[in-house]
Amino acid sequence: MIDNNDILKRILLSGPLQEITFYQVNDTFFEFPNDEVWIIDGGVELKFPYGIVSAAWNPEFETYIIKNEFVKNICNLNNLYMLENNAILKLKRFIGQKVINVGFETREFEFIVDYTMKTEKEKRLVELLLTFQNTMQIQIALIDYLLEVNKAPKDFTFDISTELLISTKNIIEIK
């Protein structure tokens, strides 16, 4: 049996990145253009020769998931729209570059399985770290963070139910 990470790795290493697209479901998101960091509600979609890899909100499971599927199929919400601005257009420099290394981070989460409140633990993929042939990197992570008035988010932790982090200039430390 081939697991999800093996499928994702095959896609990510299949050749040059062909397209990267951000999706959003509301008007508010964090963007730090100088640091090349985005925190969004919606998803990010990466297209490679052998397929698509997306990290997106899934309303059915009420969590973010990372899988080989289009964001629109994972998210399936009417208010989903493509997010595009000058800062996001900087990511076009990754197009045409090959991924040479893929890092995965998985964490165990506890879920309520039924009305009896029975719980089960399940490992979930929470981060992709892609290194490209020109040494540039893209970090995609499912996160939560601390937010104070008039300050940037900090104290990042892995969380499958809050938001999505994309970082390209520096790798963000996540606990």
pLDDT tens readout for residues 11-33: 999 999 999 999 999 888 999 98
| Per-residue pLDDT tens over the stretch 110-134 | 877 777 888 888 899 999 999 999 9
| Per-residue pLDDT tens over the stretch 35-94 | 999 999 999 999 999 999 999 999 998 899 999 999 999 999 999 999 989 889 889 999
d(CA 101, CA 112): 35
Q: What is the dihedral of CA 148, 33, 23, 139, to 10 degrees?
A: -90
Question: What burial letters (b/e) apply to 102-138, b meaning 16+ CB within 10 Å?
Answer: beeeebebeeeeeeeeeeeeeebbbbbbbebeeeebb
Q: Is 59 exposed, middle or buried (0-12, 13-18, 19+ CB in 10 A)?
A: exposed
The confidence band for 2, taking pLDDT boundaries of 50, 70 and 90, is: low
